[in-house]
Structure 1
Amino acid sequence: MLSIAAILLSLVLLMVLAYRGISVLILAPAMALLAVLLSPGAPLLASYTQVFMTGLGNFVALFFPLFLLGAIFGKLMEDSGAARVIAQRIVQWLGSRRAVLAIVLACAVLTYGGVSLFVVAFAVYPIAVELFRAVDVPKRLIPGTIALGAFTFTMTALPGTPAIQNAIPMPYFGTTPFAAPGLGLIAGVVMLGLGAAWLLWRARRASIAGEGYGHAPDAPDASAAVPRNVRPHAQGKGHDIAELGHVGGVAPPAHLPGFGQAIAPIVAVVVLNWLFSVQLLPRIDTGYLASPLYGATRLETVRGTWAIIAALTLSNLLLVLLAHRSLATLKATLDAGASAAVLPIFNTASQVGYGAVIASLAGFALIRDAVLGIAPGNPLISLSIAVNLLAGITGSASGGMSIALQTLGDTYLEMGRAAGIAPDLLHRVTAIATGGLDALPHNGAVITLLAICNLTHRQSYLDILVVAVLSPLAALALVVTLGTVFGSF
């Protein structure tokens, strides 16, 4: 019982202190070692060097290319003006009277293509201000509108998304980014439908009550761009908070690319991802992977990661080729993108190391058995609960998912096989489960979005709660139900 109390204390302190702005790079090892100190018989230094650092290092080795290439892609989209061009064109197509849907879809297209949600928020927010003011929709609805398009279905549900939330389960379950595409599409429609219905209802209610756009200041406060209590790690919803230093207040380039040039790299990411994962890689001879030199693994374990690496690499090259005239200094953009990748991955990797230490303690076995004991005949239910709770506690979708899979991934895979559940279904349920409780008020992406919009939790968090927490939870429940009845599709 003492070990369980130590684990719970360390989790609570991790959440509280991270919310108060202490770096996860410091907190994760500190809280892990605190749990070790309070657990009888656990070796302190060995837990740090042999367990924590091994877990951290393994995560970096697996996912650093994805973080690096994704951050560079987002930075190229931002600096070239491509993100702004896409958002403006979608708004033009849908018209000002569909302001809410136009902003949601603009955010969705950008994030589904791999653009960081922080880049999207800064690029789309000025457009949302102009549009909402023109049709007299309350400004307080802007954060919820951006959150629906950027925080939800494009990150966890839609098949093929290059988001890290869709990539992390692949090596654990031997899947691809297109795992359970039918269920993913259904979940995406549910999230979009429920979220849009809520926002449109709120807009109608405001109109009936005579509430207009309002008088809140529109320009993001530079001092609030990184609030004091923002968690340094916001990877739970995309890329890291460090990107704000490169995004906020950046003037658009003098020469903007055309819409075709802007959208082509995003289309390329999705199409190439599918081609590599489904068509090309399965046809090549990869027998050499069985050699200890290459990790004694199989293509199924690395196929998804290889596909995203190849797709992002080629799409980055295509973006540079098409938008080179819009990039003032390519070297500076690449350097900024590379720098923006470092802190996110080490923050997430530190959380993975924390999870590895917690899993090594005696008390974790009791917690694990309790979680696995929930609906023992259906591991999808306990998997959903475990991932969602850890994402909520850490305030990070990828962090919570990584801890869950690092400690219980093999167990759930075996339970799934025993229950006849396809790995693709485990992958999709895990990804969708990361979106929900992670968007509680202490989440760094939530706090940053409100700061960008110059609004408070009291003014706008209710809408974020509905579109980014309750709607994804409803979609998750539906996917678990459909997956249980019909299996993976």
Structure 2
Amino acid sequence: MGLLGILIALGLLMWLSFRGWSILLLAPAAALLAAFASREPLLAHLTQIFMSGAAQFLAQFFPLFLLGALFGKLMEDSGSVEVIARFMTQKLGKARTILAVVLGGAVVTYGGVSLFVAIFVLVPMAQGLFKTAAIPRRLMPGTIALGTMTFTMSALPGTPALQNAIPMPFFGTTPFAAPGLGIIAAAIMLGFGLWWLSRVEAAARRASEGFDEETGPELSADDPSLRERAAIASEFDPAELPHGRHTRSDPSFVVALAPLVVVILVNLLMSVAVLPRLDTSFLAEEKWGATSLAGVGGVWAVVVALFVAIVTLVVLNYRRLPSLRETMDAGATASVLPAFSVASLVGFGAVIAALPAFGLVRDWVLSIGGGPLVSLAVAINVLAALTGSASGGMTIALDTLGPTYMRLAGEAGIDPQLLHRVAVISAGTLDSLPHNGAVVTLLAVCGVTHKESYLDVFMVAIVGAVLALVAVILLGSALGSF
């Protein structure tokens, strides 16, 4: 009965979240349903386990939500995101429209701009480019997904994406874990995605299929259903996009790009040069959580990188931000709903892990053949698929099984950096199933349906990512982490 309760709770969580119900309500309700089916004390699970799990997640990662959303809103209101995307399209020209949109999205998201900020800037620009190049509208979602939801989120070393930060406290790694394997994975995702999109574009041209002017119903950034679907798919609440005031004079490309470069460089400097040289022995004291630099250093590096980038952005664009306080308020507010929504998913996972029947799930996952890397990849893929959230699925998996995988990796001589990279890439595969909030939002903003465009999203965001994941596991198993 307990295992059936877990499966029913997961099913309801997935189905109702896809229908637009708030995860803030669904996660505790589903957790209590699973606890009830296991005849466990409900109030104790709610206050002692659910809330403890959610609070621990917020304690570790809320600064990343806050600074990431603030940085994204400042980049958007300063005109920097639009300038970078426009520069890429102008340089590559009409003949390389798909490549231009992919690279434009990749540059801004690798630099730390939120997925949803990028989507709402890229879609109007892509519409004009696709129309000029006579490329079908239905290819827009796959193109934008390739540039914003794949290799810059999970593969490229140093990406400040939340997904790349989550494994760091569990494995004692940095954002640059397994850089060689990450670059190889990114190349596979990008290469496969571009091959698929060019193939589909060529077929459309042979069929004389051009740009379709008709669109589906328009979706505004503050649509309530969009907010709930998007809450667990990004670190930014799209309802805050219309708030603040956009610049009337765009910055130059160099000024627009500078904060993104600062994020990567400061992140690298903090990870490999500054933090390792600091005396952090005081962290072992109970006052500081009885931790170590390995447990907090990765998050510290990203926090400092985002903070320095925000200061740089404001200094360079102060006159272009007509209402700095309003923009910063909107950015800060945009971090709250996603942070609490993902934390609620983590609380749900904590309750499930505490139930007696979870032992059956754990034993099944650990019995999967292929070793710890394959087992870890399967566990995170399944949870990311069920929750529709890369960050939520990965955190649940690592909260419940992270110490076990570290033990197994130590016994097998596997570098924790390899665990880190496998975990992050795994989170970015099956999370892009049709019910994912980012996928639903992207299709709606582009004015197309799942039937028209989801196959392309599936190929570039799931098939390409799975191929990269397999390559990383094979290379890592044979050569170790590099």
TM-score (norm 2): 0.97
Which residues of 2 match residues 236-255 of structure 1 at below 5 A? 237-240=233-236, 242-243=237-238, 245-247=239-241, 252-255=246-249
Establish whether residue 261 from structure 1 lines up as the match of residue 259 from structure 2.
no
Which residues of 2 match residues 303-318 of structure 1 at below 5 A? 303-318=297-312
> Shift of the alpha carbon at 1:96?
1.3
| 2:218 equivalent in structure 1 | 221
> Shift of the alpha carbon at 1:324?
1.1
Distance 2:218 2:54 in 1: 35
C-alpha distance after superposition, 1:406-435 (max 9, x if no partner):
111111111111111111000000000011
Which residues of 2 match residues 43-442 of structure 1 at below 5 A? 43-217=41-215, 221-222=218-219, 226=223, 228=225, 230=226, 232-234=228-230, 237-240=233-236, 242-243=237-238, 245-247=239-241, 252-375=246-369, 378-442=371-435
Distance 1:394 1:18 in 2: 9
Change in Cα spacing, 1:223 to 1:44, as seen in structure 2 (3 Å) is same
C-alpha distance after superposition, 1:286-339 (max 9, x if no partner):
111111111111111111011001110010000000111211100001100000
> Shift of the alpha carbon at 1:225?
6.6
C-alpha distance after superposition, 1:353-409 (max 9, x if no partner):
00000000011001100000002x610001000000100000110010111011111
Distance 2:246 2:298 in 1: 35
Change in Cα spacing, 1:236 to 1:204, as seen in structure 2 (3 Å) is farther
The one-letter code of the counterpart of 1:467 is V
| 2:29 equivalent in structure 1 | 30
- 8 Å Cα contact 1:79-1:253 kept in structure 2: yes
Identical pairs, percent: 54
> Shift of the alpha carbon at 1:115?
0.4
Aligned residues: 482
> Shift of the alpha carbon at 1:221?
1.6
Change in Cα spacing, 1:256 to 1:314, as seen in structure 2 (3 Å) is same
> Shift of the alpha carbon at 1:59?
0.4
- 8 Å Cα contact 1:233-1:347 kept in structure 2: no
Change in Cα spacing, 1:313 to 1:224, as seen in structure 2 (3 Å) is closer
> Shift of the alpha carbon at 1:101?
0.2
- 8 Å Cα contact 1:83-1:110 kept in structure 2: yes
Distance 1:255 1:403 in 2: 44
- 8 Å Cα contact 1:39-1:361 kept in structure 2: yes
Structure 1 residues not aligned, in runs of 5+: none
Distance 1:227 1:291 in 2: 45
C-alpha distance after superposition, 1:46-104 (max 9, x if no partner):
11111001001000000010000000000000000000000000111111110000000
> Secondary structure of 2:334's partner?
helix
> Secondary structure of 2:470's partner?
helix
Change in Cα spacing, 1:216 to 1:384, as seen in structure 2 (3 Å) is same
| 2:438 equivalent in structure 1 | 445
Change in Cα spacing, 1:250 to 1:455, as seen in structure 2 (3 Å) is farther
> Secondary structure of 1:275's partner?
helix
Distance 1:236 1:417 in 2: 32
| 2:476 equivalent in structure 1 | 483
> Secondary structure of 1:265's partner?
helix
> Shift of the alpha carbon at 1:253?
2.1
C-alpha distance after superposition, 1:186-209 (max 9, x if no partner):
110000000110001100000011
The one-letter code of the counterpart of 1:365 is G
> Secondary structure of 1:232's partner?
helix
> Shift of the alpha carbon at 1:239?
2.3
Distance 1:176 1:125 in 2: 33
- 8 Å Cα contact 2:425-2:465 kept in structure 1: yes
The one-letter code of the counterpart of 2:218 is D
Structure 2 residues not aligned, in runs of 5+: none
The one-letter code of the counterpart of 1:92 is Q
Distance 1:430 1:235 in 2: 21
Distance 2:70 2:221 in 1: 25
The one-letter code of the counterpart of 1:474 is L
The one-letter code of the counterpart of 1:65 is P
- 8 Å Cα contact 2:150-2:428 kept in structure 1: yes
Establish whether residue 20 from structure 1 lines up as the match of residue 19 from structure 2.
yes
Distance 2:66 2:357 in 1: 36
Distance 2:343 2:45 in 1: 16
The one-letter code of the counterpart of 2:429 is G
Distance 1:362 1:350 in 2: 21
The one-letter code of the counterpart of 1:226 is D
TM-score (norm 1): 0.96
- 8 Å Cα contact 1:227-1:451 kept in structure 2: no
> Shift of the alpha carbon at 1:127?
1.5
Distance 2:247 2:199 in 1: 37
Distance 1:305 1:259 in 2: 29
Establish whether residue 470 from structure 1 lines up as the match of residue 463 from structure 2.
yes
Detail structure 1 runs of 4+ shifted over 4 Å in the superposition. Answer: 222-225, 248-252
Distance 1:65 1:252 in 2: 25
> Shift of the alpha carbon at 1:250?
8.7
Distance 2:229 2:268 in 1: 30
